[in-house]
Amino acid sequence: MISADTANSILIGLVSGVLTATLLWFLNRFWNDTVIPKYESHVYKGLNIQGTWELVDGPDDDGSWAQHEVMSLKQIAHRLSGTATLVPKPDLNSETISLDVSGDISDRFVSLTFRSPIKNRLSYSVLLLEIVGDGNILRGSTAMYDVGKEVISSHEVEYVRKK
């Protein structure tokens, strides 16, 4: 049989362990989500491509895409995140699609991945872009899974920063 003092010591040890673990978890989240990004943003000396980018017409037979695409990027140091919205042409029987964007920037090269936030929807694209000129053009290639044709395809792409 355990004495009351021993049981009390065990209970105090368990409660203090749980509280310490919780405090350390919150401190870790604060450090990783607030302190480090602010420090990296302050120290980062590279290009800033945060903002809204619009896809320039491209690979269809008539020189245009089957949809209008606008990408909104947030940048913390070299890390990029955001969303891309694909609005189909009016004559297509398709819906507007929103995709999550993640990636990074190194020197003048940008690597992005587009994924659907809806887990039961197949949508995946990878882009490698170069920052051209004064930083208002992203030009490169995309590789993506074309759901309509059921094939992986690649295209040249160019995005222009919206004012």
Domain spans of the chain, in order of start: 1-43, 51-161
Give the pLDDT of residue 61.
Answer: 54
Asked if 101 contacts 84 with a C-beta cutoff of 8 angstroms, the reply is yes
- Structure tokens given for 118: 């809806």
Supply the pLDDT for residue 149. Answer: 77
User: Token pair of 61, please?
Assistant: 């037979």
The 3-class secondary structure across 9-39, one letter per residue, is HHHHHHHHHHHHHHHHHHHHHHHHHHHHHHH
The burial of 145, by beta-carbon neighbours within 10 Å (0-12 exposed, 13-18 middle, 19 or more buried), is given as middle
CATH 3.90.1150.10 fits 51-161, yes or no: no
- Ranges in the chain, pLDDT < 70: 57-66, 91-93
Q: What is the pLDDT of residue 47?
A: 86
Taking only the tens place, the pLDDT of each residue in 55-72 is 986 555 554 556 788 999
CA pair distance 129, 69, nearest whole angstrom:
16
Instruction: Tell me the CA distances in angstroms from 143 to 3, 78, 159, one per residue in order.
Output: 68, 22, 15
Q: Which two tokens stand for residue 149?
A: 């044709």
φ, ψ for residue 34, nearest 5 deg: -120, -60
The first and second tokens of residue 132, run together, are 């051209």
**What is the model's pLDDT at position 131?**
95
Q: What is the pLDDT of residues 33-62, one digit of tens each?
A: 888 878 877 777 788 899 999 998 655 555
